[in-house]
Amino acid sequence: RCVEAFYIYFRADRVEEPYVSITKKRQMPKDGYSEEIEKEVGQAEGKLRTHRSAFSRASVIQAFLGSAPQLTLQLYICVLQQEVTVARSIFMVLSLLSIVYGALRCNILAIKIKYDDYDVRVKPAAYLCIFMWRSFEIATRVTVLVLFGSVLRIWVFLIVLLNFLGFFFYPWILFWLSKSPFPENIEKELSRLGTTVVLCLLTFLYAGINMFCWSAAQVELSDPDLISKSQNWYQMTVYYIVRLTENAFLLLMWYIYRTDFYLYVCAPMLFLQLLIGYCMGIFFMLVFYQFCHPCKKLFSSSITEALLSCFKILYFICQHHKSTLLKGKVVMKSPENTDEAQDSSKTIDSQNRSIHQSVSSNA
C-alpha cells in the first residue's frame, strides 16, 4: 500500500487524468455567510485521499492497541527495576509520541467526519494545542496506572477491566435504548455475523482509546457513519471530571499503600505534579476548543458555556441537598420544641390557677 501510494504520488502530474470528479465543499461562515466551492478531484488525488484516510485509521489502531500497552509495560518494568536505561527510555519516548500522534489523527478524523460538508483547514496552532493536550493527558494517565499497579497489583486489573468493559458496552447500551435497526450498510459483502464482528472490533478500539484519553470520535451505532455528528460538551465534561477524580483516587491509594521502594521519592510532590499535569492537558483542550478549533464558528455553544452550565447544575444539586438536610433537622427538632411548648403552657396554666386560688381565698 505504501509503495502504491508513492507510485501514484510521483506519477500524479505526469499522466493526464482520463476523468475527474467534482466535489462541493462549503467555506467556513464569514459574517454569517458561507459560499459553496466546487473543486475538481482527479483519480490519482482520490486514491491518495483514500490511502491517507486508511493510514490515519491504521495509526490510531497501532497507537492504542500496540504502543499504549507497550509504554505501560516498559514504564512498569523501569519502576520495578529502579533503573531507566538509554534504550528503554528511547523506546518509551517513541511509544509516547506514537500514541500522541494516533490521538492527534483521531481528532482530525473526527473533525473531518463531523464536518464533511465544509472545507476544513487545520492551522498549526490547532496541531500544537492537540499535541500538548494529548501529551499531558496520556503521559499522566499511564504514570498513574503504573504507580497504582506497583503497590496494588491485583486491584489494577479490576480498575482496567471495569474501565474497558464500561466503554465497550456503552455504545451498545445507547444503541439498544435508541431502538434503531441493526446497521446493514457497513459493507455489502458482509453478513450479519460479519457486521457484528466489525462493530465489536470498532467498540473494542473505542474502549482502548478511552482507557488512556478522551476519544474525539464518539461511536454511535445508530448512525450510518458509526460516528456521532453532534458535539456533546456535557459528555466530555463528565468524562474529564470522572477521570480526574479517578486519577486522584488512584494516586491517593498509591500514596497510602506505598512501600519502602518509594523511600527516595518525594511522594507528595509527585502526587501534585501528576494532578497538575492532567489539569494542564485539560487546559490545552479548553484552549483548542475555545480558540483553535477549525470549525468553532459552527458551534451552537462554546465549551466554556457548557462548563458553566454544568457547574450551575452541580451548585443547584448541592443547594438542594443542603436544603433537604436542613428540613430534616427542623423536622427532627420540631417534636422537642412542641413538647417544650406544651410544658411551658402547662406551667403557665398552673401558675394562673394558683394565683386565682390565692385571690379567691383572700377575698
Task: DSSP letter for 297, please.
Answer: G
Q: What is the CA 315 to chain-centroid distance, rounded?
A: 22
Start-to-end C-alpha separation, the chain: 123
Cβ neighbours, 10 Å, residue 265? 11
Q: Which of 151, 152, 140, 155 lies closest to 262, judged by CA?
A: 151
Cα angle 254, 259, 261 (rounded to 5 degrees) comes to: 110
Cβ neighbours, 10 Å, residue 97? 15
- Cα 265 to Cα 168, 210, 255, 258, 352, distances in angstroms: 36, 30, 11, 11, 78
The pLDDT, as a whole number, for residue 46 is 54
Residue type, 15: V
The pLDDT, as a whole number, for residue 362 is 40
The answer for residues whose C-beta is within 8 angstroms of residue 24's C-beta and 6 or more apart is 36, 37, 38, 39
Cell numbers for 206, please give them: 473505542
Cβ neighbours, 10 Å, residue 289? 20
20, β-bridge pairs: 42
Per-residue pLDDT of the chain (363 residues; tens, 9 = 90+): 555 544 454 555 555 555 556 666 666 777 666 666 666 555 555 555 554 666 667 778 888 888 899 999 999 988 888 888 888 899 999 999 999 999 998 888 888 888 877 778 888 999 999 999 999 999 999 999 999 998 888 899 999 999 999 999 999 998 888 888 877 766 666 677 878 888 888 899 899 999 999 988 888 888 777 888 777 788 888 899 999 999 999 999 999 988 777 777 788 898 999 999 999 999 999 999 888 888 887 777 667 776 777 677 777 777 777 777 777 666 565 544 445 445 555 454 554 455 444 434 443
Whether 81 contacts 46, CB under 8 Å:
no
